[in-house]
Amino acid sequence: MHILLNGLFLIAGLKWGDWRNWSKYHSTILFFWFGDLLYNFLCKDYLMWEYKETMFGQNILPNHLTISLLIMFVAYPATVLIFLGNLPDKTMKKVLWLLFWVALFSLVEYINLRYLDLIEHHHQWTMAWSVFFNLIVFFILLLHNKHPIAALIISIPIILFFVMFFDVPIY
């Protein structure tokens, strides 16, 4: 099922992504990847959310890490190319665009959690945390696009907050 979902992201990215200016967004895609790789490294034995494959492709995507890599290499670039490539000029429209993406990612997660059994939450992670986290992610992606150093600096206390709040064992 994750293959199908990522296929939809790929199609959307090809249709609506700003491929002509992909190099403008390259560092933000790498930043997005880095954040997810850092999560998978720091939380490898203490996942807040864990991807599962239950319908199709269980032999191709046997575990959380392989599914996460698929999402990183397909869904994240497509997301950045659409999200930043179609960013409105006016502030209020930017806010609505950001909220649209937070809602989209949150809705996909909710459906995957509640109906498709493609994700599990652990260690007191909830959909409310996911919505909040998605809000942070899309805000940071927006910031990174224009001010990458500021996005990096702001990310550090955010990461520390989540690590400490959820008692992630770092050793």
Ramachandran region, residue 169 (left: φ > 0; alpha: ψ -120 to 50; beta: rest): beta
Paired tokens of 98: 């950001």
- At 87, the amino acid letter reads L
- At 12, the amino acid letter reads A
Report the half-sphere exposure of 46 (CA within 13 A, side-chain side).
14
**pLDDT averaged per 10 residues, the chain (length 171):** 91 96 96 96 95 82 93 97 97 97 98 95 98 98 97 97 95 75
Which CA distances in Å does 161 have to 54, 84, 156, 157, 164?
Answer: 32, 27, 9, 6, 5
pLDDT of residue 134: 98
Residue (of 5, 136, 135, 138) closest to 70 by Cα position? 5
Mention every residue, 6+ apart, whose C-beta is less than 8 A from residue 104: none
Residue (of 155, 94, 102, 101) closest to 129 by Cα position? 102
pLDDT of residue 12: 96
- Supply the pTM of this predicted model: 0.93
In contact, 65 and 40? CB cutoff 8 Å: yes
CA-based end-to-end distance of the chain: 34
Paired tokens of 63: 């575990």
Residue (of 136, 156, 117, 120) closest to 48 by Cα position? 120
pLDDT of residue 2: 87
Mention every residue, 6+ apart, whose C-beta is less than 8 A from residue 32: 72, 76, 79, 80, 137, 141
pLDDT of residue 55: 73
